[in-house]
A and B are shown apart, each in its own frame.
Chain A
Amino acid sequence: MARRLLGEVNDMSELRELYQEVILDHNKKPRNFRVMETANHHADGHNPLCGDNVTIYLSIEDGKIADISFQGSGCAISKASASVMTTVLKGKSVADAEDLFNQFHELVTADSSEELDADHLGKLAVFSGVREFPARVKCASLAWHTVHAALAESEKPVTTE
């Protein structure tokens, strides 16, 4: 329904690319949105420009992400990104998670003229629209930077600055 309404608005194709239904859905009903008491890794992330903040909780067993959850508040892009990220990373190995972190970063910061190889990105491809909105790249990548820090057991809070 949101997509049809977007279509009524004057040339909203780019907005439609950014605020796809999947993103709006994950914003409204974020997955894995809870504190994890049994987490063995966690990190806090903060986007000082706009006030997005996120905490990522991880339960790592035998080099695999057995469980992942998040808490935080922020814009639709940051919340949806964190939510989709948790669904994608659950069950993945730490090595795969690092790999996806790099791929996601490339996805949202790539030159918009570059061809997008969305196939191996799966669900993450919904964030391809962010590349048209440079001001929102930090919103989309905050959760990923934070998980990266949680995996590296970094002590300092993460920011996207």
Chain B
Amino acid sequence: MTSQYDVNAIREDFPILRQRVHDLPLVYLDNAATTQKPQEVIDSIVRYYTETNANIHRGVHLLSEKATREHEDARKIVRRFLNARSTQEIIFVRGCTEAINLVADSWGADNIGPGDEILVTNMEHHSNIVPWQLLCQRLGAVLKVIPIDENGDLLMDEYVKLLGPRTKIVSVVHLSNALGTINPVHEITRLAHEAGAKVLIDGAQSVPHIAVDVQEIDCDFFAFSGHKIYGPTGIGVLYGKKELLEAMRPYQAGGDMIASVTFEETTYNALPYKFEAGTPHIAGAIALGAAIEYVERIGIAAIAAHEHDLIEYGAARLLETPGVRLIGTSANKASILSFVLEGVHPHDVGTVLDQQGVAIRTGHHCVQPVMKRFGIPATSRASLACYNTRSEIDALVDGLKKVVEIFT
């Protein structure tokens, strides 16, 4: 017996969806920017501060032990979610951006030298470009870019050509926030490892929409942000293979990441705490755990199927509007509907849609190189989550009709 996906019941879980904007129902299609939160995630934060709040790891009083246990339980939830071997491989950070910076700084410092090569793709988010640019500038390394085709697919032949003996790390987005392309990360990782290079996967947009198994992918690092998977802002995860993390120098220094401190010598804490300096976002980690459990209860496969139906429906309906061109038409994509409307700047599309209660994002989406590649200044982007419906897609398309009326 298959259980039906009850999107209305799911929508009931998200209190903000009852909001009205400009006195109209909210049609929230900006999930790639951030997702809304189910009541149980909101409750977990309130409950933590009401019943459990204490600093973790070193207290001997009850609240401290309780808070520590809940924080570390959240780490176990993340480990299971990603299928990492050990909780020692799960590091809590502020978000995906911090995770990538951590690897660039801490792993990069001891593993990158002059003339070494770092590979990224043409569809990367700035957070997976700029840290590597800074590293290359600092250490005299070279950044190379794997090109993409008109559909937004990675040119794997070109990737193979770019891989060489000097390639030290390949850093690749799993699911593109502007194009929706799902990259073949298993294949990318296998080829990188054959060339002796490490692999970092930016999973910010993939974990909410497709199943992720870091052992199966065999990537060396994997990063994601909590707020894109129905969790709070200010929390994210870096997964790293234990032997790599153990060899890496600390990222930020301070309390908790140390074992002992004297002015003569300081020794560092074991994993994962070596990379968690200072008091963490305890409530954030706990709420992230609650968000992941929420997703697992619905089932990532069920969410993926629901969103897949919506994206096919959405793509077809969008193309009914004359002058619409979809950007990102990979055969293997999810959750993202980016488009341009002839003769109307995305900014104007977004403003008119907003007045009709429809929230999309317009601009370069922190992927200016993608915009350049397609010869456009910006796109309008609708992005899906587990609570979106076909009638919301209809509202988007109706809204576009108004845009066309005003501007042509």
> Which residues from chain A sit less than 8 Å from chain B, CB to CB?
2, 5-6, 9-12, 14-15, 18-19, 24, 27, 49-53, 73-77, 133, 135-136, 139
B377 in the interface, Cβ–Cβ < 8 Å?
A: yes
Residues B345 and A75 in contact, CB atoms below 8 Å apart: yes
28 contacts between A and B (CB under 8 A): A2-B406, A5-B406, A6-B406, A10-B24, A15-B351, A15-B352, A15-B355, A18-B351, A19-B348, A24-B406, A24-B407, A49-B363, A50-B362, A50-B363, A50-B377, A51-B364, A51-B377, A52-B347, A75-B345, A75-B346, A75-B348, A76-B344, A76-B348, A76-B407, A77-B348, A136-B347, A136-B351, A139-B347
Q: Tell me the complex Cα distance, A19–B403, Å.
A: 11
B402 in the interface, Cβ–Cβ < 8 Å?
A: yes
CB-CB nearest 8 A-B residue pairs = A51-B377, A75-B345, A75-B347, A76-B348, A5-B405, A51-B378, A15-B355, A50-B347
Q: Which of B299-345 contact A (CB under 8 A)?
A: 344-345
Q: Tell me the complex Cα distance, A11–B348, Å.
A: 18
Say yes or no: A11-B405 contact (C-beta < 8 A), given A51-B377, A76-B345.
no
**CB-defined contacts of B352 to chain A, threshold 8 Å:** 15, 19
Q: Say how far A3's CB is from chain B's closest CB, in angstroms.
A: 10
Which residue in chain B gives the minimum CB-CB distance to A3?
Answer: B406
Encoded as 1 (CB less than 8 Å from any A CB) or 0, chain B from 271 to 300 comes to: 000000000000000000000000000000
B194 in the interface, Cβ–Cβ < 8 Å?
A: no
Q: How large is the interface on B (under 10, 10 to 19, 20 to 34, 35 or more residues)?
A: 20 to 34
Q: Tell me the complex Cα distance, A139–B356, Å.
A: 21
Q: Tell me the complex Cα distance, A5–B403, Å.
A: 11
B371 in the interface, Cβ–Cβ < 8 Å?
A: yes
User: Knowing that A10-B24, A11-B22 are A-B contacts, what are 5 other residue pairs whose CB atoms are under 8 Å apart, sorted by A's residue number?
Assistant: A6-B406, A15-B351, A19-B352, A24-B406, A77-B348
Q: Say how far A41's CB is from chain B's closest CB, in angstroms.
A: 26
Q: Say how far A25's CB is from chain B's closest CB, in angstroms.
A: 12
B23 in the interface, Cβ–Cβ < 8 Å?
A: yes
Cβ-defined partner of B378 (8 Å) among A18, A50, A135: A50
Say yes or no: A12-B407 contact (C-beta < 8 A), given A73-B377, A139-B347.
no
Indicate the member of A15, A27, A75, A135 with the most B CB atoms within 10 Å: A75
**CB-defined contacts of B402 to chain A, threshold 8 Å:** 9
Which residue in chain B gives the minimum CB-CB distance to A135?
Answer: B351
Say yes or no: A12-B347 contact (C-beta < 8 A), given A49-B363, A50-B378.
no
> Which residues from chain B sit less than 8 Å from chain A, CB to CB?
22-24, 344-348, 351-352, 355-356, 362-364, 371, 377-378, 402, 405-407
Cβ-defined partner of B356 (8 Å) among A10, A18, A27, A133: A10
Residues A133 and B362 in contact, CB atoms below 8 Å apart: no
Q: Tell me the complex Cα distance, A12–B364, Å.
A: 27
Which residue in chain B gives the minimum CB-CB distance to A76?
Answer: B348
**CB-defined contacts of A50 to chain B, threshold 8 Å:** 345-347, 362-364, 377-378
Q: Say how far B68's CB is from chain A's closest CB, in angstroms.
A: 42
**CB-defined contacts of A27 to chain B, threshold 8 Å:** 407
**CB-defined contacts of B378 to chain A, threshold 8 Å:** 50-51
Residues A74 and B345 in contact, CB atoms below 8 Å apart: yes
Cβ-defined partner of B406 (8 Å) among A14, A19, A49, A52: A19
**CB-defined contacts of B346 to chain A, threshold 8 Å:** 50, 75
**CB-defined contacts of A133 to chain B, threshold 8 Å:** 351
Q: Say how far B329's CB is from chain A's closest CB, in angstroms.
A: 22
Which residue in chain A gives the minimum CB-CB distance to B371?
Answer: A51
Q: Tell me the complex Cα distance, A153–B348, Å.
A: 31
Indicate the member of B22, B347, B363, B364 with the most A CB atoms within 10 Å: B347
Which residue in chain A gives the minimum CB-CB distance to B24?
Answer: A10
**CB-defined contacts of B24 to chain A, threshold 8 Å:** 10
Q: Tell me the complex Cα distance, A10–B399, Å.
A: 11
Q: Tell me the complex Cα distance, A24–B348, Å.
A: 11
Q: Say how far A129's CB is from chain B's closest CB, in angstroms.
A: 11
Q: Say how far A42's CB is from chain B's closest CB, in angstroms.
A: 21
Cβ-defined partner of A12 (8 Å) among B344, B348, B355, B362: B355
Which residue in chain A gives the minimum CB-CB distance to B364?
Answer: A51
Q: Tell me the complex Cα distance, A10–B344, Å.
A: 21
Q: Tell me the complex Cα distance, A11–B22, Å.
A: 9
**CB-defined contacts of A11 to chain B, threshold 8 Å:** 22-23
**CB-defined contacts of B344 to chain A, threshold 8 Å:** 76
